[in-house]
Amino acid sequence: MKTYLIEKYGDRSAVRAAELPDPRPGPEDVLVEIHAASVNPLDFKIRDGAFKRILPYRLPLVLGNDLAGVVVRVGSAVTRFAVGDEVYARPDKDRIGTFAELIAVHQDDLAPKPAALTMAQAASLPLVALTAWQALVERAQVRPGQKVLVHGGSGGVGTVALQLARHLGAHVATTASAANADLVGELGADVVVDYRTQDFERLLDGYDVVLDTLGGQTLEKSLRVLEPGGRAISIAGPPDADFAREIGANPFLRQAMNALSFTTRRRAERHGVTYSFLFMKADGDQLREITRLVDAGKIRPVVDRVFPFDRTRDAMEYAEEGRAKAGKVVVAMK
């Protein structure tokens, strides 16, 4: 099968096209013919080696973290899918590789593709939608009337998180460029802060939840717009000990991650709020809930551009350079 992979960690030049043997599904695996996959910042971080200590992948490694496609074979113990089913997924972190023609995915990580979506639209959703769900539903347990701030509202995670927060009944604020103000307003933002000309810390206060997609100074300021007891959940800030436990890290690595997040956690404590790092996990059942929301018209994908499979490197470069105006960049195999 055709793939795009890395044989060593490095910059964008490390990614190359290569032929590999077709994957062999295990008893509980589903073999999926991939029709589309989307590009995520996680792809660049994995390629660069940013996670090599906590996600020790075996090289060569096929890149790509979410997909939409059709089931072509099922393992002997598979009960939830049949050949011909249209599905989408974010494979488990240890079994990535969606920049390829085929992939074997555990049945528990798959969900039926939303009926109204094209393959490209469906492929744009799994990783970012699961991130939004795990932040706002699973971890923050957002309730009607609460105030939620989503940073980077026009980005991949942001476009879904705004819609989900609105569905949950929250009052929603976001940071975005003036050019995307109308879009993020349509997606659910009640308040839009132009990050280029306005300081969100001066304009917002009393928030219950912040979903931080940017890290750095943005995360530090976010702690100060939360009300006492509020929660800052970051996908870009320093990892913490809870995350280390989730991935089964050894005691040394747990201690190192705890140290990395010490300053942020201490600042949060001073403001009477909490900080946690989120690294989303594959979950087919949660993705089924997201499918229902999509089919009900509560969540819609935002796709900036679709590239053909033979231009996967161009798609990654386009996304990495920040040329997407809003939403996701997708690679189409079919």
3-state secondary structure of 332: strand
3-state secondary structure of 131: helix
Q: What confidence score (pLDDT) does residue 98 get?
A: 98
Cα-based distances in Å from 328 to 99, 148, 177: 15, 22, 16
Q: Which residue ranges form the domains of the chain, and what is each CATH number?
A: 2-125+301-332 (3.90.180.10), 127-277 (3.40.50.720)
Q: What confidence score (pLDDT) does residue 249 get?
A: 77
Compute the distance between CA of residue 166 and CA of residue 145 in angstroms, rounded to an integer.
10
Q: What confidence score (pLDDT) does residue 258 get?
A: 82
Q: Say if residue 60 is preceded by a cis peptide, omega within 30 of 0.
A: yes
**22-71 pLDDT per residue, tens:** 999 999 999 999 999 999 999 999 999 998 887 889 999 999 999 999 99
Contact present, 13 and 316 (Cβ < 8 Å): no
Contact present, 196 and 328 (Cβ < 8 Å): no
Give backbone dihedrals phi and psi of 204, rounded to 5 degrees, phi first. Answer: -120, 145
Compute the distance between CA of residue 290 and CA of residue 132 in angstroms, rounded to an integer.
10
**269-288 pLDDT per residue, tens:** 999 999 999 999 999 999 99
Residue 184 pLDDT grade (very low, low, confident, very high; cuts 50, 70, 90): very high
Both tokens of 295, joined, read 């089919």
Cα–Cα–Cα angle for 303, 116, 152, rounded to 5 degrees? 30
Both tokens of 252, joined, read 């040394």
Q: What confidence score (pLDDT) does residue 105 get?
A: 98
**125-140 pLDDT per residue, tens:** 999 999 999 999 999 9
CA atoms within 13 A on the CB side of 220: 4
pTM: predicted TM-score of the whole model, two decimal places:
0.97
Q: Average pLDDT of 91-99?
A: 97
Q: What confidence score (pLDDT) does residue 252 get?
A: 81
Residue 323 makes CB contacts below 8 A (sequence gap 6+) with none
**169-180 pLDDT per residue, tens:** 999 999 999 999
Q: What confidence score (pLDDT) does residue 207 get?
A: 98
Q: What confidence score (pLDDT) does residue 25 get?
A: 96
**287-321 pLDDT per residue, tens:** 999 999 999 999 999 999 999 999 999 999 999 99
**210-231 pLDDT per residue, tens:** 999 999 999 999 999 999 999 9
Q: What confidence score (pLDDT) does residue 51 get?
A: 86
Cα–Cα–Cα angle for 195, 120, 18, rounded to 5 degrees? 100
Q: Average pLDDT of 149-167?
A: 98
Residue 38 makes CB contacts below 8 A (sequence gap 6+) with 66, 123, 124, 125, 127, 156, 328, 329, 330, 331
Token pair 């079994």 is found at 95
Q: Average pLDDT of 84-109?
A: 98
Mean pLDDT is lowest, of 147-151, 158-162, 256-260, for: 256-260
Q: What confidence score (pLDDT) does residue 181 get?
A: 98
Q: Average pLDDT of 256-271?
A: 91
How many residues would you count in the chain? 334
